[in-house]
Structure 1
């Protein structure tokens, strides 16, 4: 089994946090988004992963440190890491075709801006599976249309009239991904574009037209990391799941507490110093932070920060930030100083 991860986008909706760190590498509940996504998919598949192909943007932004992080992720799952580049933002279909050398055999394609919780078996009769989640406002999403056999027969983007309430979340399984490769090559060769870009949906529609059977795989939870607000919400939800699972140590043994309290669930990384602080619930704090005379809840704090005299709720703070103040719902990028 292979996992194909297109992740070349700059994550503009998550600025300023994605100005210095690629969005898929921003930690949520203590681990980068893409790491959690790939590990959760591997857990759902319940079979060995042979290769993980990552499609990155230009080396100036997705540099050697990013490549090393992804190679270590693949190695931790016993898989080979393949690194490809998408130099131009020409759409989802184009991104996948940048990894054409890896497009063979069974594969999952997953876009690295979402997290899931799921537990199901792949349908052996399906040529492909599209992961979906039931939503309250289907008109805001791309949705699937099913026939009487529960096969997916159509993909509809933001339907104006009701088609279904099963939204496509951006994760796909193909029994043989080379079939998708052939259809996407046709899309590229014939310059079939939607919204000025080459889309995976046009390749999927080509497969459907030739009789390939698509089934819907429903996830239990679908968590977005598209902007600051939803990323903070996703951090809180993920912390709750991890606390219930009990599989990860969420508070490092090197955390130093002085007259401080941690209200679970929280993730607190290595060598964090808490002095006269109340942390939680639903807070993630990266390594080497110092927090004094502060109360923080429902927030996402990255690494190497000094935070004093703060009362924060629904905040997101990057790396190497110095913060001293009484603002609440802040969104502060790397290397900022507020005193």
Structure 2
């Protein structure tokens, strides 16, 4: 089994944090989005993963090194492909054409999911879906009585289905998908100016491929700051975070309301932390109250009250009360 993760988007809705770090490499509760995605997929599959292929933009050598390191930590072989132009979901996969063969699972690095079922890789293809309340904002699928997909509908104005595509796809023989993507590109078949994966999928279904829908229990968005913080909460509620051993000398005169993720070398002085707070390596918090927030590494928070906030690495945030903020790396508010 191979996993392909398209992640070349600029993450504009997550700025300023994505100005320095691609969105899939942002940490949530001490673990990057893409690492969580790969781990959750591994738990769902019934067979070992032989390769993970990342499709990235012009993110620089450090990002490539981080992805290779992440894969090594997960005992996976890594490949990196590049999509320099935003020409659509099918075009992104075409950039990884050398990996589009055999059993392949495609997972777009925009969201996380939760499920207790194991993937059925005996099917020709599967698409993961989630029942939602607002289907007009998403691509949805219609099913037959056996749970196979009969139609794709993008952001329906009138109700046709409440099963939204969450961005995870399995193909028993990905070379068949590659042939249909090549057909789209060769014949310049686009939707809204981009080469769409759903067009390739419809061609596969028209040729007889049966695509099963697999419904997940949880689908967590990482599209903007508020969505990330909501996902952050859900991860804590599911217990999907590593609990750290807090050294007494690093936590003085302070109260920690669990659940929280606090890196081992964080110093917290005369503060009240939590619930639903993550604090990264080397951060110092003094005389502060923080809840439902993510604070990245080597930040300094003093004489401050924070809620529903994201604070980047090396930020200095002092003498501010009762604020909800989103500050990129190296910002200073003193």
SS at match of 2:270: strand
1:251 to partner: Cα distance: 5.0
Contact persistence 1:128–1:213 (CA under 8 A): yes
Aligned residue number for residue 112 of structure 1: 109
Q: In structure 1, which of residues 138, 150, 153 is the aligned counterpart of residue 150 of structure 2? A: 153
1:333 aligns with 2:328: yes
Structure-to-structure mapping, 1:25-40, within 5 angstroms: 25-40=25-40
Q: In structure 2, which of residues 263, 272, 276 is the aligned counterpart of residue 278 of structure 1? A: 272
Contact persistence 1:235–1:282 (CA under 8 A): yes
Contact persistence 1:250–1:266 (CA under 8 A): no
1:252 to partner: Cα distance: 5.0
Distance 1:124 1:271 in 2: 43
SS at match of 1:130: strand
Contact persistence 1:2–1:50 (CA under 8 A): yes
Aligned residue number for residue 60 of structure 2: 63
Distance 1:251 1:166 in 2: 41
Contact persistence 1:3–1:108 (CA under 8 A): yes
Structure-to-structure mapping, 1:68-217, within 5 angstroms: 68-123=65-120, 125-217=122-214
1:249 to partner: Cα distance: 2.5
Moved more, 294-303 or 114-123: 114-123
Q: Tell me, which stretches of 5 or more residues in structure 1 are unaligned?
A: none
SS at match of 1:239: helix
Q: In structure 1, which of residues 213, 218, 221 is the aligned counterpart of residue 215 of structure 2? A: 218
Root mean square deviation of aligned Cα: 1.4
SS at match of 2:272: strand
Distance 1:46 1:294 in 2: 46
SS at match of 1:309: strand
Shift in CA distance, 43/229, structure 1 to aligned 2, threshold 3 Å: same
Q: In structure 1, which of residues 261, 264, 271 is the aligned counterpart of residue 258 of structure 2? A: 264
Distance 2:246 2:202 in 1: 48
SS at match of 2:34: helix
Contact persistence 1:145–1:153 (CA under 8 A): yes
SS at match of 2:160: coil
Contact persistence 2:128–2:213 (CA under 8 A): yes
Shift in CA distance, 91/263, structure 1 to aligned 2, threshold 3 Å: same
Aligned residue number for residue 16 of structure 2: 16
Structure-to-structure mapping, 1:221-232, within 5 angstroms: 221-232=218-229
Q: Deviations over 1:174-212 (max 9, x none)?
A: 111111111101011111111111111111111111010
- Relative to the length of structure 2, the TM-score reads 0.96
Q: Tell me, which stretches of 5 or more residues in structure 2 are unaligned?
A: none
1:255 to partner: Cα distance: 7.5
Contact persistence 2:46–2:119 (CA under 8 A): no
Contact persistence 1:129–1:174 (CA under 8 A): yes
Q: Deviations over 1:133-183 (max 9, x none)?
A: 110111111111001222101110111121111110001111111111111
Shift in CA distance, 111/185, structure 1 to aligned 2, threshold 3 Å: same
1:303 to partner: Cα distance: 0.8
1:32 to partner: Cα distance: 0.9
Q: In structure 2, which of residues 283, 287, 299 is the aligned counterpart of residue 289 of structure 1? A: 283
Contact persistence 2:44–2:119 (CA under 8 A): no
Distance 1:38 1:96 in 2: 17
Distance 1:178 1:98 in 2: 14
SS at match of 1:173: strand
Distance 2:333 2:55 in 1: 36
